[in-house]
Amino acid sequence: METSMGTGPEQDIQQLRQQLQQASYAYYVLDDPTLPDEVYDRLYRQLQDLEAAHPHLITPDSPTQRVGEKPASQFTSIRHNIPLYSLENAFDLEEYRAWQGRWQRLAPEVGEAAAVAELKIDGSALALTYEHGVLVRGVTRGDGTTGEDITQNVKTIRSIPLRLQIKNPPPRVEVRGEAFLPLDSFERINQQRQQAGEALFANPRNAAAGTLRQLDSRVVAERRLDFFAYTLLLPEGTGAAAQLSLLGGEAAGGDGEAGEDGPSTQWEALTYLQTLGFKVNPNCQICPTAEAVADFYEAWSTQRLALPYMTDGVVVKLNDFALQRRLGFTQKAPRWAIALKYPAEEVPTVVKSVTVQVGRTGAVTPVANLRPVQLAGTTVARATLHNRDRISELDLHIGDTVIVRKAGEIIPEVVRNLPELRPADALLYPFPTHCPECGETLVQPEGEAVTRCINNSCPAIVRGALIHWGSRQALDITGIGQKWVEQWVDQGVVRSVADLYTLTAETLLPLERMGEQLAQKLVTAIQTSKQQPWARVLYGLGIRHVGSVNAQLLAQHFPTVEALAAAEPDAIASVYGIGPEIAQSVYQWFRVPANQQLVAQLKIAGVQFAADLTPAPDATPQPLAGKTLVLTGTLPTLSRHEAKAKIEQAGGKVTGSVSAKTSYVVVGAEAGSKLAKAEKLGVTILSEADLLNLLAE
């Protein structure tokens, strides 16, 4: 094949890149090669030679830039513009139908709604950012809020386009998907590692995650990762500005309204991803009913075993984006999507002994100590037995052979017993009647499966309460960790959360491995935590069912601890997002005398139990106090998250939709329908510069 070249090096390079990009797309995405390997190699060499002669013409999206020349020294942490939410799991069709019932109760008039069923790929989630069609960043999922910038490694994945395959691409688009290691690549890598005397990878998922974090992108390229895209976020005005599929955060609450020129359903989004040049898993289907989802799930329970990659379930997403936005998110997951998992791998092993663990709430959890066994790529030596009733159901004897699996593929659990293999000398396990930590009598509250220690002075409960109180989302006390808490409680230095605020450096110095400087740092961190706001304090109290988000809602509605403590269950449950179970738990917590005493002691110590509703006398007035703002489009220098934070720090409130009550609409590039609505309603329009001027006042 001869190449028709341009009239100069710039034109020649551009033409070669286009030919190579089209050939790569056909080979790695469409699985339909258009060029023989030797022709591709020759064109690639021509491009290399031209770029070597004209290095100023090299661009990040050139096919020659897929593999970096120098290994990275480290990865940089990147905060996701929009969180990567995890999915709620269903482990059988009954749990799937229960999920369907939950979302239908939130939208009763909808009835049956179409959903898209997609195979759940067992790999590592990535967030890819393209600016003006060129890949500029690839970030790992991390904890969902912050990931690692692994752009150079992402570029080695041939099924990820360096440049989007469309003319006039949007100024910015973010694509989410799963990087995975095909089974043939996994086997080849482990063969190489075995020959080299290196430890083998346990499974393709671990191998993919480890590969993505390689500092040398050349190693990543050799391992031949693949990628399936499953969702995207487009700037406002391109028709897909609202969250598409697994995106959440601000976008889910009105980051933009989808127009007529872009995807309005998950199925359309998958098609659009293919148009952009991404590989989308072909094993997906629109399911008009729950029965169709069940058929898809059951059909792939066996078919998946013949696939060239690992899959552990089916992801089901409601197809209509408008319905997705209406249902929104819980604290951890979207309400409009669920992972319908296939049964986990199960293996037999022997119970050697049973121990019980006492948690922060006094819950007593029995744990089986097992003969170590390989399960889902890890060595398992302990498995949860859940509770007293579960042990009775299993008729568990020490020495029994049991079947173990990983619940949610994370926590090992005993699922059934094999009494026919029981040794003659096996002894029935007696569930304890007294707490192993404090010796108090254990109780099983009516209607609960959990057995509890109700002694608030129990060392296990105190340890759990202290660690929770000092955790990042609660009082965020730097330095409080498991080892110090165990010493404080075991030696009687601290008997409750309130005792923390009586600690002095002199009190701590006698402890093992405690120096004067460290003691002073701990005391300072504890004293500083008194300034944490009421919402964090409420979460730190550890009331059952009250997470950090629920604590924020309650603190906004009940600005003082006295107001919350006096509230009846119905009043608490009237707060949007707070259900009857949470309301009853909060109500009962404040009825316990020991808890009332704890609050009183913490108030005396100076902990904040009221919202700071008024500025300090010498504080500068907040320029946006009482104002409601809406953000639309892409701002020149501020991210959506940064702009929102600045507005809230200045006393303003950011909402997702424009109304007559909106004070200002802050407009950036590619603004969409919100701008038109603001103009129609006569709402004041601000640029980023206008906003910054207001904030500076």
Task: Label residue 359 left, alpha or beta by phi (over 0 means left) and psi (-120 to 50 means alpha).
Answer: beta
Structure tokens at 220: 């990543």
661 in active site: no
Residues 6+ apart with CB under 8 A from 301: 342
The helix/strand/coil state of 232 is strand
**Given 120, 279, 406, 627, the catalytic residue:** 120
Contact in structure between 337 and 246 (CB atoms under 8 Å)? yes
Contact in structure between 204 and 181 (CB atoms under 8 Å)? yes
Structure tokens at 274: 């293919």
The helix/strand/coil state of 661 is coil
* Upper half-sphere CA count for residue 59 (Cβ side, 13 Å): 14
Contact in structure between 511 and 613 (CB atoms under 8 Å)? no
Enumerate the H helices of 63-123 as residue ranges: 93-106
CA distance 244 to 230: 9
C-alpha dihedral sign at 287, 291, 297, 300:
negative
128 beta partners: 138, 175
CA distance 44 to 482: 56
* Upper half-sphere CA count for residue 565 (Cβ side, 13 Å): 17
CA distance 370 to 380: 8
CA distance 257 to 251: 10
Contact in structure between 196 and 219 (CB atoms under 8 Å)? no
Q: If we measure between CA atoms, which residue out of 526, 531, 542, 523 comes closest to residue 599?
A: 542
Q: Known catalytic residues?
A: 120
